[in-house]
Amino acid sequence: MLDPKQIDDLARRLAEQAPKGFQVLQEDLNRGFRATLESGLARLDLVTREEFDVQAAVLARSRAKLAALEKRVAALEAACADTAQPAPTAEPASGSAEFEEPSA
């Protein structure tokens, strides 16, 4: 998540942008902005840049492994197709008994 110093800085800048009449309440505004920012950011379920980079690297390695495995499977399938010989199929003779009508 964001560094607490960054949240404080953002809350301070928001409080400074308030109209002049509200600047008397600047500390209260600052605390209110900080609380609002923290609760809003907590709901976003953010990850740190470091966590994101680690997961991106894991994904890149997984994609590389997947590509290598796809090539390997394709090569194995091609090798199997080259070595496999189709089994001879027996065609029935033209005068097969299966298709003859019984004689009376």
**4-22: per-residue pLDDT in tens?**
788 788 877 877 777 777 7
Domain of 64 in residue numbering reads as 48-82
Asked if residue 18 and residue 56 are part of one domain, the reply reads no
Q: Give the model confidence (pLDDT) of 37-80 as tens digits.
A: 888 877 887 888 999 999 999 999 999 999 999 999 999 999 99
User: Scanning the structure block, which residue is given the tokens 């379920």?
Assistant: 45
Q: What single-letter DSSP state applies at residue 7?
A: H
pTM of the model: 0.44
Tally of structural domains, the chain: 2
Whether 33 and 60 share a structural domain: no
Token digits of residue 93: 């003779």
8 with 40, same domain: the answer is: yes
Q: In this predicted structure, what is the pLDDT of residue 85?
A: 61
Furthest CA-CA distance within the chain: 120
53 and 16 in a single domain? The answer is: no
Are 71 and 52 in the same domain?
yes
| Residue 91 located in a structural domain | no
